[in-house]
């Protein structure tokens, strides 16, 4: 069954006519060519496919596009255009958070989601905030440090 789904993607209204059960992840990557959203598990476990839906972090490999009718989706491509997004990305680069990079766009989304809720998070809050994002390279320490750095540098942004 093919249906028209309208939603906001990185602050622009878009529409797509497709099977409503198609995974949002495939819609973003295959139909909108937004390759910053990664697939690493396909079962909701790793967070590489994270985006913000109505400002809340979700994993797109589990969401049928039919469920986001009217919603607002922000991917790394949208976030990186904002002051907050840039602040996080720069902090990740300076703080040594990035190794192979495959988990990182999802981590940046998680960081944004966390900072929106806790602009000055404790280390424990940071660790909890990224617990749904698996990283096999960094052991997380420098990611935690970098999020703290982003929160300091971006004081007032969140």
Ligand X SMILES: Cc1cc2nc3c(=O)[nH]c(=O)nc-3n(C[C@H](O)[C@H](O)[C@H](O)COP(=O)(O)OP(=O)(O)OC[C@H]3O[C@@H](n4cnc5c(N)ncnc54)[C@H](O)[C@@H]3O)c2cc1C
Positions in the binding site for ligand FES (CB under 6 A): 39-42, 44-49, 59, 61, 99-104, 135-138
Residues 39-68 that bind ligand X (CB under 6 A): 43-45, 62
Considering only 9, 73, 74, 110, the residue that binds other proteins (CB under 8 A) is 110
From ligand X, other proteins, ligand FES, none, interface partner of 14 (C-beta below 5 to 8 A by class):
none
Per-residue interface string for the shown chain with other proteins, residues 75-94, x marking contact by CB under 8 A = xxx--x-------xxx-xxx
Distance from C-alpha of 25 to C-alpha of 11, rounded to nearest angstrom: 18
From ligand X, other proteins, ligand FES, none, interface partner of 70 (C-beta below 5 to 8 A by class):
other proteins
Distance from C-alpha of 87 to C-alpha of 115, rounded to nearest angstrom: 11
Residue 151: which region, alpha, beta or left (left: phi > 0; alpha: psi -120 to 50)?
A: alpha
Distance from C-alpha of 28 to C-alpha of 50, rounded to nearest angstrom: 11
SS3 label, residue 126: helix
In the complex with other proteins, the residue whose CB is nearer, 141 or 155, is: 141
Q: Is the separation of the CB atoms in 146 and 96 below 8 Å? A: yes
In the complex with ligand X, the residue whose CB is nearer, 14 or 40, is: 40
The neighbouring-strand residues paired with 37 are none
Tell the smallest beta-carbon distance from residue 62 to ligand X (Å): 6
Strand order in the sheet with 72-74: 12-18, 3-9, 72-74, 50-53, 56-59
Nearest residue to ligand X, scored by beta-carbon proximity: 44
Q: How many C-alpha atoms does 46 have within 13 Å on its Cβ side?
A: 16
The residue count for binding other proteins (CB under 8 A) is 80
Considering only 10, 47, 74, 87, the residue that binds other proteins (CB under 8 A) is 47
Where along the sequence are the contacts to ligand X (CB under 6 A)? 43-45, 62
């Amino acid at each position: 069954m093919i249906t028209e789904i309208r939603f906001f993607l990185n602050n622009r209204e878009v529409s797509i006519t497709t099977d409503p059960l198609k995974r949002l992840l495939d819609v973003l990557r295959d139909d909108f060519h937004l390759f910053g959203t990664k697939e690493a598990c396909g079962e909701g476990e790793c967070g590489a496919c994270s985006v913000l839906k109505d400002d809340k972090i979700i994993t797109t490999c589990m969401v049928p596009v039919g469920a986001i009718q009217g919603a607002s989706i922000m991917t790394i491509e949208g976030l990186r255009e904002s002051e907050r997004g840039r602040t996080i990305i720069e902090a990740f680069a300076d703080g040594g958070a990035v190794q192979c990079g495959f988990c990182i766009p999802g981590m940046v989304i998680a960081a944004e989601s966390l900072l929106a809720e806790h602009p000055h998070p404790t280390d424990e809050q940071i660790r909890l905030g990224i617990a749904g994002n698996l990283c096999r390279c960094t052991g997380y320490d420098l990611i935690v440090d970098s999020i703290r750095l982003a929160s300091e540098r971006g004081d007032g942004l969140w």
